Amino acid sequence: MSAVLASPFLASSSRPRPSTLSEVLGHPGIWRGGAEPVLPVRTQASGNASLDALLPGGGWPIGSLIEILIGNDGLGELGLLLPALAALTRRRHRVAIIAPPYLPYPPALAAAGIDLDHLVQIDADVADSHWSAEQCLRAGCCAAVVHWLPDADYRQLRRLQLAAETGGALAFVFRPAQARDQSSPAALRLGISHSESGTCIEVLKCRGIMDGRLKRRLPLRTEDAQASRQGNAQAARMTAQADPRP
C-alpha cells in the first residue's frame, strides 16, 4: 500500500491561478522596487508642505539617518529643521545639537518656537562628537540629534543609522557638498543650495521613492532660512567678541 503526499508547491486544481501579469503584481506578497514602502513609516512633519508631500509618510522618517549636504556653514541650513525641532521641544522631547560651527543664538531659536529647556548643546572634537551623537541616539534620551559632521566614512554613518533605529530618534547630520558622490547608508539625503532665486532643497536619495521623483528642487521656507542665517550671524559676532571654545 502506498501513499501519495501532496506537495504544498503543487497548485491545487481548485485554486485559481493568476492569468495576467497585473494580477501577479497585485498580490499582497509582492513588492515592486521603487514603490511606496509596504510597512508604514513613522514620521515627524518637516513644516515644509512641499517636502512633506514628497516624502513617504509625509515627513522626516523617525528612526533614520537623514543626511543634509551643504555648500558652506551658515547658509541657513538649520532653518530647514526648526519647525520640526520646535514641535518636538513643545511636546517636552529633548533635542541635542552636537558640534555646531557657530554658537547657537538662544533668542533666535526661541523666536522660531524652540523650547530652550529641552535643547541640549554638546561641544566636542570630531572623535568625541561621533561618540556623543551615537550615544544620544542609541539611548533613546533624545527625540532628535542634529550633528555637524565635516568628515565621516560609511562605517561611522552606518553606526549612526543603527543607533537611530535602536533609539527611535531622528538623526540629522550636516555634511559638506563634496560628500555627494560618496556612498551613504542614510534613508534620506538632501542637498541645500543657494541661488539668486533663493535657497532650495534637492532630494538626492529617499528610501521608498522612485528615481524619477528624486531630483526635485523645493523652496526653503523664507522665514526659517532668514531666522537661521540671522542666528548664525549673531553667533559669529558673539564668537568674535569672546572666546567660548578652545
User: Residue 10: inside a domain, yes or no?
Assistant: no
Tell me if 197 is assigned to some domain.
Answer: yes
- Report how far residue 36's alpha carbon sits from residue 207's, in angstroms, rounded to the nearest whole number: 9
- The answer, yes or no, to whether residue 142 has pLDDT greater than 90, is yes
Query: What's the chain look like in SS3?
Result: CCCCCCCCCCCCCCCCCCCCHHHHHCCCCCCCCCCCCCCCCCEECCCCHHHHHHCCCCCEECCEEEEEEECCCCCCHHHHCHHHHHHHHHCCCCEEEECCCCCCCHHHHHHCCCCHHHEEEECCCHHHHHHHHHHHHHHCCCCEEEEECCCCCHHHHHHHHHHHHHHCCEEEEEEEHHHHHCCCCCCEEEEEEEECCEEEEEEEEECCCCHHHCCCEEECCHHHHHHHHHHHHHHHHHHHHCCCCC
pLDDT one-digit tens code per residue, 51-77: 888 888 899 999 999 999 998 765 678
Inside any domain, residue 100: yes
Q: What is the pTM of this model?
A: 0.74
79-113: per-residue pLDDT in tens? 889 999 999 999 999 999 999 988 888 999 999 99
Total domains in the fold of the chain: 1
Which is higher by pLDDT, 49 or 170? 170
What residues make up the domain containing 175? 43-240
Burial environment of residue 33 by CB neighbours within 10 A (0 to 12, 13 to 18, 19 or more): exposed
Q: Give pLDDT, residue 151.
A: 87
pLDDT for residue 34 is more than 80: no
> Could you tell me which residue, 152 or 28, shows the higher pLDDT?
152
Per the CB < 8 A criterion, the answer to whether 146 and 160 are in contact is: no
What residues contact residue 101 under an 8 Å CB cut-off, 6+ apart?
A: 73, 74, 148
pLDDT band at 13 (very low <50, low <70, confident <90, very high): very low
242 vs 134, which has greater pLDDT?
Answer: 134
Residue 227 lies in a domain: yes
Averaged pLDDT of the chain:
78
Record the cell numbers describing residue 23, joined without a space: 494580477
Q: What CATH number does the domain containing 210 carry?
A: 3.40.50.300
Domain membership flag for residue 51: yes
